[in-house]
Chain A
Amino acid sequence: MSGLSGDVISGKQTIRNKKVKSNEQFFGILFALPAILGFLIFVLGPMIASLIYSFTDYSLFNKPTFIGLQNYKDFFSGTDPFFYKSLLVTFYYVLLNVPATIIFSFFIALLLNNEIKGRPLFRAIFYLPSIVPAVASAMIWMWLLNPDLGLVNNILSALHLPTSQWLFAEKSVIPSVVLTGLWTTGGTMVIFLAGLSGIPTVYYEAVEIDGGNSFHKFFNVTLPMVSPTIFFNTIMAIISSFQVFTQAYILTQGGPNNASLFYVFLLWREGFKNTRMGYASALAWILFIIILLLTMLTFRSSNSLVYYEGERKNS
Chain B
Amino acid sequence: MKKTNTFKKALIYIIIGLLSITFILPFIWMLRSSLMELQQIFIMPPQWIPNPVKLENYIHALTIVPFALYFKNTMIILILGMVGTLITSTLSAYSFARLRWKGRDFWFKVILTSMMLPGAVTLIPQFLGWNALGMVGSFVPLIVPAFFGGGAFNIFLLRQFYMSIPLELDEAAIVDGASFFRIYTSIILPLSRSAIIVIAIFSFMFYWNDFMGPLIYLTDESKYTLAIGLQMFQGAYNTRWEELMAASTSIILPCVLIFIIGQKYFLEGITMSGLKG
Using a CB–CB cutoff of 8 Å, the interface residues on chain A facing chain B are: 20-21, 23-25, 27-32, 34-39, 41-43, 45-47, 49-50, 53, 60, 108, 111-112, 114, 116, 122-129, 131-137, 139-144, 149, 151, 154, 158, 183, 187, 190-191, 194-195, 198, 229, 232-233, 235, 239, 242-243, 245-246, 249-250, 264, 267-268, 271-272, 277, 280-281, 284-285, 287-288, 291, 295
A142 to B131, CA, bound (A): 34
Q: Give A22's nearest chain B residue, CB to CB.
A: B101
A140-B248, A250-B231 known; A149-B149 Cβ under 8 A: no
Question: B244 to chain A: which residues have CB within 8 Å?
Answer: 139, 143
Interface assignment of B71: CB less than 8 Å from any CB of chain A: no
A281 to B128, CA, bound (A): 11
Partner of A135, one of B92, B251, B271: B251
Interface assignment of B60: CB less than 8 Å from any CB of chain A: no
CB distance from B105 to the nearest CB of A (A): 11
For chain B, the count of residues having a C-beta within 8 Å of the partner chain is 94
Question: B26 to chain A: which residues have CB within 8 Å?
Answer: 129, 137, 140-141, 144, 183
Q: Give A40's nearest chain B residue, CB to CB.
A: B148
Partner of B181, one of A27, A43, A136: A27
* Stretch of B17-25, B50-58, B192-200 that contacts chain A: B17-25
| Pairwise interchain contact A47-B212, C-beta atoms closer than 8 A | no
Q: Give B148's nearest chain A residue, CB to CB.
A: A38
Using a CB–CB cutoff of 8 Å, the interface residues on chain B facing chain A are: 9, 12-13, 15-16, 19-20, 23-27, 29-30, 33, 42, 44-46, 88-89, 91-92, 94-96, 99-104, 107, 110-111, 114, 116-129, 131, 145, 147-150, 152, 155, 174, 179-181, 184, 205, 208-209, 211-212, 215-216, 227, 230-231, 234, 241, 244-245, 247-248, 251-252, 255-256, 258-259, 263, 266-267, 270-271, 273-276
Question: A132 to chain B: which residues have CB within 8 Å?
Answer: 252, 255
Identify 27 residue pairs between A and B in the complex whose beta-carbon atoms are under 8 Å apart, listed by A's number.
A25-B102, A29-B103, A31-B92, A31-B95, A34-B148, A35-B149, A37-B149, A38-B149, A39-B110, A42-B122, A43-B117, A46-B126, A46-B129, A124-B259, A127-B267, A133-B227, A143-B241, A183-B23, A191-B274, A194-B275, A239-B116, A246-B212, A250-B231, A271-B127, A280-B124, A288-B121, A295-B116
A27-B95, A32-B107, A136-B252 known; A53-B125 Cβ under 8 A: yes
CB distance from A159 to the nearest CB of B (A): 12
- 16 additional contacts, CB 8 Å, given A32-B92, A36-B149, A135-B231? A27-B99, A30-B95, A35-B92, A42-B126, A49-B128, A116-B13, A129-B27, A141-B26, A158-B45, A267-B123, A268-B212, A271-B127, A284-B118, A284-B120, A291-B118, A295-B116
A140 to B145, CA, bound (A): 31
A60-B131, A135-B227, A194-B271 known; A125-B124 Cβ under 8 A: no
Question: B147 to chain A: which residues have CB within 8 Å?
Answer: 34
A142 to B244, CA, bound (A): 11
Question: A131 to chain B: which residues have CB within 8 Å?
Answer: 205, 255-256, 258-259, 266
Question: A246 to chain B: which residues have CB within 8 Å?
Answer: 211-212
Main secondary structure of the interface of B (DSSP, over half): helix
CB distance from B177 to the nearest CB of A (A): 11
Question: A268 to chain B: which residues have CB within 8 Å?
Answer: 212, 216
Partner of B118, one of A141, A191, A287: A287
CB distance from B8 to the nearest CB of A (A): 8
CB distance from B97 to the nearest CB of A (A): 10
